[in-house]
């Protein structure tokens, strides 16, 4: 069983869905951790890549092939 939380990236405000196992969610509640409180601190994969590398993530191969033309 999975619990899904809907939130937004803290940096770019893109919507995100976070899936958490029900057992992990219950364990957090027993320890007094409120998942809704820390959901607002998460960032998406694109923003994480930018934060770690200082560069924007590369285009996916499908988009790159469409924009630049398939050279194969």
Cα separation, 72 vs 58, whole angstroms: 19
pTM as predicted? 0.61
Q: 57 pLDDT band (50/70/90 cuts)?
A: confident
- For the chain, strand residue ranges (E) read 2-8, 15-21
Q: Sketch the domain layout of the chain as residue ranges.
A: 2-68
Signed CA dihedral, 54, 15, 19, 33: sign only = positive
Q: 8 pLDDT band (50/70/90 cuts)?
A: very high
């Amino acid at each position: 069983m999975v619990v899904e939380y809907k939130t937004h990236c803290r940096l770019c405000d893109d919507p995100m869905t976070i899936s958490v196992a029900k057992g992990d969610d219950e364990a957090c509640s027993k320890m007094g951790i409120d998942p809704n409180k820390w959901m607002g601190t998460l960032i998406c994969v694109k923003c994480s890549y930018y934060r770690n590398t200082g560069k924007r993530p590369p285009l996916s191969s499908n988009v790159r092939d469409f924009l630049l033309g398939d050279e194969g």
